[in-house]
Amino acid sequence: MTISHNNPKQINYEGSLMPQVEMLSIGNNNKKLKIGLPKEENKYENRIMLTPFAVKQLIDEGHNILMESGAGEKSNWSDADYTSVGAKIASKSDVYKSEIVAKVSPFSENEISLLGTNQTIFSALHVNTQSENSIRKLLSKKVTAIAIENIKDKNGFAPFVESMSEISGILSISTASEYLSNAKGGKGIVLGGITGIPPAKVVILGASKSGEYAARAAIALGAQVKIFDKSIEKLQKIKSKLGFSIYTSVLQKDAVAKNIKSADVVIGAIDFSGNDEGFVVAESDIAKMKKGAVIIDLNIDNFSCFATSHLTNLGNPTFVKHGVTHYCVPNIASRASRTASLALSNALFTILLNISENSSGIYFAVNDAALRNGTYIYMGILTNKQLAKKFNLDYKDIDLLTAIF
């Protein structure tokens, strides 16, 4: 199958084949893939990488899909939903020995031990949560490991990040609203203003995709929204999209400190892949925030922009520091697991088809710039500078490395 990549439209509703792209004739020489979908060991991860709709088309193309029983349950797809379209329920061991293994949360040490060798694995990387031991174990397996959040094409489009950021941005506002309410021990206020009462103040750090969608959701509820970013270009674009009802400002420490002092909600949504890396709100500034205010840290899986943040999970998502509620869950999109799974499947489905069309098999990263960007281990060699620096490990630039093959 050949896919036209000229601005493909994505359909995010159920019952359809996810990517709406031009489909041409099927070639007989396409590589047939064996794809494993394990059940997440992380009990707070509710998403799955492929929906039954995508699985059906992959199987129709001749690919084999092995699933661990219950893998789709938390997104409300049963084993029968998958087996009815041709997927096979297999043992955990067999699923992890598949040529390609795709899961959402980073591979745990136990999951890594189940892998064979020379496989290709897809998952989130979450640099902030990684351990040196896990990375060393992956290296010993000689796998090609691809971080879905780092997959980005030459135009800067990152399909997994874009879709999860949209969901995370929207959920950040609904979550903040929950924690401002009495039901979650908040002050008992609503985000939107009502007659005679001013609206709540929402400060968003970062005009990223998640920042944009957080702003959209907050504006829709009637909140007063202020967005900060170092990039004037980003601020101009978001102002153009959302209108003059929002306040924008350059990301400067004094300006941020002044504004968060009176904020009811502060969202951390800085795009650390750009020029905003290193901006952190000092603990002394957070200590001056209103008691009962809420921080939603959407950057916690990368580099947090709040000095007081630390990782939490969906089972115990918040903590209070200086009277401010902190919500620091790295997989907030998992709260809307079915929608998120549909979006993840959109992106992975297309990638898998591209891999099957590439006769070079495991060397496909040589020819695919987007996958090269996402590859942090290539055939057992570390290619991610960030991880190498964090754990003092040797690494090779993937562009130079793949030139050898």
Q: Are the C-beta atoms of residues 206 and 269 closer than 8 Å to each other?
A: yes
CB 129 within 8 Å of CB 328: no
Crossing angle for the helix pair 52-60 and 337-357, nearest 10 degrees? 20
Find out whether 304 and 280 touch, Cβ atoms under 8 Å. Answer: yes
Q: CA 306 to CA 362: how far, in whole Å?
A: 40
The span from the CA of 138 to the CA of 104, in Å, is 16
Which token pair is 216? 């959209």
Candidates 5, 63, 126, 322; catalytic one: 126
126 is catalytic: yes
Q: Please state, in angstroms and rounded to a whole number, the distance separating the CA atoms of residues 177 and 361.
A: 48
- Residue 354 backbone dihedrals phi, psi, to 5 degrees: -65, -40
For residues 126-141, b (16+ Cβ closer than 10 Å) or e, as one string? Answer: bbeebeeebbebbbeb
Asked if residue 163 lies in contact with residue 224, where contact means CB atoms within 8 angstroms, the answer is no
Active-site amino acid positions: 126
